Structure 1
Amino acid sequence: MADSATLEARPVHHAPGVKRAESDRRRRWAVVVVCAVLAAASLAALVLVGLPDTVGSKAWSYSLDRLSRHAVAIVLVSVAVGVSTVLFQTVTGNRILTPALMGFDSLYLLIQTMLVFFMVPRDAAIAGGLTSGGLSGFLSQTAIMVIASTSLYLWLLGGRKTDIHLLLLVGVVFGVFFRSISSFFQRLLDPAAYLQVQDAMFASFRGVQVDVLIACGAIVLAGLVVVAILGRRLDVMLLGRDPAVALGVNHRQVTIVVLVVVSFLVSASTALIGPVMFFGLIVANAAYALLGTTLHRFTLPVACLLGVIALAGGEMVLASLGVESALSIIIEFVGGLLFLFLLLTNRAR
C-alpha cells in the first residue's frame, strides 16, 4: 500500500469531461470578448468615418452629436431586439419563432396609418408630432403596443394552463388582421399622406432625439434588470415545462414575466426606429452557432453584440457607398433566407 507521501506526489488527473467543459467555457467567454471588441470598433469607426476633417468647427460638432445619437440608438435597438428574441425563443422552445410573429410590426404600421388618416385632416401638427419620432410619439406608440400585447398575454395565459401555441396562432392572426386594415386605409390616403406612412414602413436611425433615446434607454435598462433577477431560471426554462416545474421553477409565472418584458423591449425598439422583422432571428441564431450553447449568460450578450456589429458595420459600409436607408431592406432579405434555411433544414430546436 502506498504511503501518504506517495499519494500526495501523484499528479491529479481531471476527467476528460471536466477538461472539455472548462475548455468550452473559456472559448465562449473568448467569443464574448471578441464580439465586444468588434462591436466597440464598429461603433467607433461609424462615428469617425462620418466626421468632417475640420476638427472643432460647427459642422464637426453637429456631426459628432448626430453620429453619437446614431450610435446610442444602434446599441439600444441591438440590446432590445437581441434580448427579446432570445427570451422569446426560450419560452417557446423554438429557434425560428421571433416576437415579430406576434404582430408588433403590423400593429406599429397600423398605428402610423391611423394617425395619418384620422389626424392629418384635423390637426397636422399633432399628427406630425406623433409620427415624426418625437418623445410624445415614442411614448404613445410604445404604450399602445405594450397595452395591446400585455392584454393579449393576460387573456390567453390568464388561466391555469399556459398554451404557447395558441398564443402564437392568435398573434399571427392579429398580425395579418392589422396589416390588412393598414393596407385598406393606405389605399384611401392621398399621395402626400401615403409617403408619410411609407417612411414608417422601414427602419431608420435618422433624426433620433435625445429625449427619445433616454426614454428608450430607461425601458431597456428596466428589462435587463428583470432578466438579471430571473437569472438561472431562464436556463431551467430551456428544459421544458415539466422538467422546469420538477426543478422548482414556476413555469407559468416566468413565462408571463418574460413575455411582458419582451413586449416592452420590442415595442420600444419598434417605436424608436421602425419595424425590423428578421433582425432578431439573425443575431440570435448567429449567437447559438458561434457559442454552441443556449446558456443565457453567453447567448444574451453575444446576440446583443452581434446586433451592434451588424448595424454599425452595415451603416458604415452603406454610408461609404453613398447608399442610405437600405440596411433594413438588406436585413429583411438576409433574415428571410435564414428563416427558409432553418425551416427547410428542420433546425427549429
Structure 2
Amino acid sequence: MTSLSPAPPARPSAAPEAPPSIAPELPRQRRAGGRRLAGVCVVLAGAVLLLGVGAITQGVPDVGVRFALDAAAGTVGDDVTGYLVRHNRLPRVVAALLCGAALGGIGVLLQDSLRNPIAEPGLLGVAHGASLVVTLQVLFGVSLPGMARPTACLLGGLAAGALLLAVNRRITDPVRLVLTGFALATLFSAVISAALVLAPSTGGQTQATVNRYLSGSLSGLTWPEVRILLLWVGAGLPVALLLGRVLNLLQLGDDTAAGLGVHVGRTRLGLLVLAMVLLAPVVAVAGPLSFVGLLAAHLARGLLGSSDSRQVLPVAVLAGALVTLAADQLGRLAFEPLEIPAGIWTVLVGGPLAIVVATRAAARRRAAR
C-alpha cells in the first residue's frame, strides 16, 4: 500500500510588477511649466519695457531711460520737450499698454469659454456694436461725461453679444459664429455709414475724427482717458486672471464641465459679460482695435506650447500689450509725418492669421468625422 505523501507546497507566484507611477513626474512637469511661464513673461515684459521707453523718447532731443523716468515722475521741466513727453507720448504709451492687456485677456476669455479658436470681439461684431454708440454720440453732438462713455459702450457691446447668442444656439461652431458676427459687424457698419450721411453738417473735421476713431487710433489720448482705462481694466483684468481653472474646465466640453460641478450656462454668460466689461473702455477711448485679442491669445499658446488657461492668460495679457504698443509705434513712425492708426496694422497682421486658424479648425473637424 502506497503511502500518500503530502503534496509539496506550491511555489508562490511572483507578484505582478506594479505599473510605474507617474506621480513623481507631475511636480517635475509643473516646475518645467512654471519655469517656461516665468521665462516667457520676463521676455515679454522686457520687450514691452524697451518698446515703451523707445516710444516715449524717440523723436525728442534728450533720449534715454533716465529721461523717460524723469518724465514719468514729472521732474523733467516745463520746456517743450518735457511737455511733449508728459502730455503726449507718455499717456499714449500707457493707454496702448492698458488697451492691449485688456484685449489679450479678452481673446483668451472668448476663445476658451466658447471653445472657438477664432472668437474675437472684432470678428463677432461685438466691438462694432460698442463703437456704434460712440459714433452716434460724436456725430450728433451728445455730450457724455468721462465715465458715461464706457458705460454706454458696455451696453452697446452687451446688446450685440446678446444678439449674437440669440442667433447662435451652438456657440461652439466656429464657422457659424464668425458668419453671424460678420453679418452683425456689417449691419452695425451700415448704421454707422447712414449716421455719417444723416448727421447734422458740422464740417469735415467731425467726420475725420469719426473715421480715425473707427480705424482704432491711439493718437491724441490724454491722462483723463488713461484714468478711465485704469479704473475699468484695473478692476476687470485681475478677475480674469483668476479664472484659468474655470476656462480649463469649459475647454473639456459642456457635459464634462457640468459633471465637474460647473454651471455652464451661467458661467459662460458671466465670462462674456466680463469680456464686455474689459472691452468697453478700450472701445470708448481707442475704437475697435481688431484682432489684438486673436493675435495675443495664439501668440501666448505658441510661446508656451500649452493650452492651460492658467498659464496662457498672463502671457496673453503681456503679448496684447506688446502687440498694441508695437502697432502704435509702427503707425507713428512708418510714414512720418503721416500717421497710420494702430488698428489698421493689427488688422493687416491679424486678418491672415484668422484665415489660417479658421482653415486649420475646419480641417480638424473634417478629420474628426
Query: Do the structures match in fold with TM over 0.5?
Result: yes
1:235, distance to aligned residue in structure 2 (A): 2.0
Amino acid at match of 1:147: L
Equivalent position of 1:9 in the other structure? none
Q: Give ranges in structure 2 of 5+ residues lacking alignment.
A: 1-21, 64-75, 365-369
Structure 1 residues without counterparts, runs of 5 or longer:
1-12, 120-125, 131-135
1:236: which partner in 2? 249
CA distance change for structure 1 residues 332 and 153 in 2, over 3 Å: closer, same or farther? closer
1:30 and 2:39 aligned = yes
> Equivalent residue of 2:58, what SS?
helix
2:270 maps to amino acid: V
| Within-5 A mapping of 1:1-349 | 19-20=28-29, 22-53=31-62, 56-65=77-86, 66-117=88-139, 119=140, 126-127=141-142, 136=145, 138-151=146-159, 163-164=170-171, 168=177, 171-188=181-198, 192=204, 193-321=206-334, 322=336, 323-346=338-361
**Against the structure 1 CA distance between its residues 313 and 277, is the aligned structure 2 distance closer, same or farther, given a 3 Å change threshold?**
closer
Cα distance change of structure 1 residues 302 and 347 upon mapping to structure 2, 3 Å threshold: farther
Contact 2:243–2:310 (Cα < 8 Å) also in 1? no
- Percent identity between the aligned chains? 27
CA offset digits 1:210-237 (Å, max 9, x no partner):
2222122111122124325545222222
Question: Per the alignment, in what secondary structure is the counterpart of residue 215 of structure 2?
Answer: coil
Counterparts in 2 of 1:289 and 1:229: CA distance versus 1, 3 Å: closer
Q: Judging changes above 3 Å, is the alpha-carbon distance between structure 1 residues 238 and 14 closer, same or farther for their aligned structure 2 residues? A: closer
Quick check: 1:203–1:275 contact (8 Å CA) kept in 2?
Answer: yes
Counterpart contact for 1:95–1:348, Cα < 8 Å? no
| Deviation digits for residues 259-292 of structure 1 (CA, Å, limit 9, x no counterpart) | 1111111121111111112121111111111111
* Number of residue pairs aligned between Structure 1 and Structure 2: 322
Normalised to the residue count of structure 2, the TM-score between the two structures is 0.76
Normalized against structure 1, the TM-score is what? 0.80
Give the partner amino acid of 2:150.
T
Q: For the aligned residues, what is the CA RMSD?
A: 3.2
User: Secondary structure of the equivalent of 2:265?
Assistant: helix
SS of residue matched to 1:200: helix
Residues 93 and 32 (structure 1 numbering): CA distance in 2 closer, same or farther, change over 3 Å? same
Using a 3 Å threshold, how does the CA distance of structure 1 residues 115 and 151 change in structure 2: closer, same or farther? closer
Contact preservation (8 Å) 2:300, 2:315: yes
Cα distance change on mapping 1:59 and 1:307 into 2, 3 Å: same
Structure 1 pair 43–263 and aligned structure 2 pair: CA distance change class (3 A): same
Q: 2:6 maps to what in 1?
A: none
8 A Cα contact 1:156 1:163, kept in partner: no
Superposed displacement of residue 99, structure 1: 2.0
Q: Which amino acid aligns with 2:77?
A: G
CA gap of 1:145–1:317, structure 2 versus 1, over 3 A, is closer
Cα offset for 1:93? 0.3
Indicate the structure whose relative CO is greater, using CA pairs within 8 Å and at least 6 residues apart: 1
